[in-house]
Amino acid sequence: MSGMMSGEKMLEAGRMVGKYEIIRPLGAGGEGSVYLAKDTALFRLAAVKQMEAGTEILQEAVFLRDLRHPMLPMVYDLLYENGCYLVMEYIEGVSLHNYIRKRGSVGEEQGSIWAEALLSLLEYLHNRKPPVIYRDLKPDNIIVCPDKRLRLVDLGAAFLKNYGEGARTRMALTPGYGAPEQQAAAGRTVYADERSDIYAFGKVLYYMLTGAEPGRPPYGSLPVSVYDPLAGDDLERVIKKCTRENPDERYQIVEDIRRDLSGRKQGKKVC
């Protein structure tokens, strides 16, 4: 399995981690490898994330336990047993990335439904005290469930917003989806706030409607209408406003995006 962290050993099928029996690997990322497991006490499936001791995600695992939203997996447990393991609800389905790759894109109607779902989640995260910034919204972290509802997984990059936060040199970033302010550059402070998630949302919406990877020019920079001539100009304007280079020129809060998307249905012009 690719993507394993330095020093991390792959867990074999049948191994017990607490009361969880490992079944098979699900994937790997920068913060650790994830396995499908069976809860031998409650007889339910779970996702067990193996993490390296001392990593940033361990410091944030406690706050993740308090998040409650229909689109988020529940955190079941945090174990320290010959390693560190975060145990979460197992979400069945296929990543939005693979879903779109198979189908090419989704229509404007389905795209609007899924956009509203994602905005509902971001609004929930951003309105917490202090706000939670997801920081790595992308199609690979979004699951399309069998009933066509969306769920969000891999909360490893999520972070409590720190007002007056100092400069960082490293941050979760996916090319094509990560906002410019999350990228290190000479003389620039690296940071992420609500507007960074809004930028990524705009890129995800673009990908859903076009099937074009935003990080692969020129296809990822062409207007939505090139791929879907029936798509409304207002929807294009929403995406452009979400993804402006300067954070001050984007939507500042999720509620404003929801207002404009709702206004489209009522025939109101998006500015």
> 1 falls in which pLDDT band (50, 70, 90)?
very low
User: Mind listing the pLDDT tens digit for each residue in 72-128?
Assistant: 988 888 888 888 898 999 999 999 999 999 999 998 999 999 999 999 999 999 999
When comparing pLDDT for 269 and 142, which is higher?
Answer: 142
Mean pLDDT over 63-71 rounds to 83
Mean pLDDT over 29-33 rounds to 67
Distance CA 122, CA 101 (A): 24
Distance CA 17, CA 25 (A): 14
> 270 falls in which pLDDT band (50, 70, 90)?
low
pLDDT above 60 (res 216)? yes
Q: Which residues contact 113 (CB under 8 A, 6 or more apart)?
A: none
256 is catalytic: no
pTM: predicted TM-score of the whole model, two decimal places: 0.85
For residue 77, give both structure tokens.
């447990």
When comparing pLDDT for 159 and 178, which is higher?
Answer: 178
Instruction: Give me the phi and psi of 229, to 5 degrees please.
Output: -60, -20
Marked catalytic residue, from 136, 193, 228, 260? 136
pLDDT for the residue 63 = 66
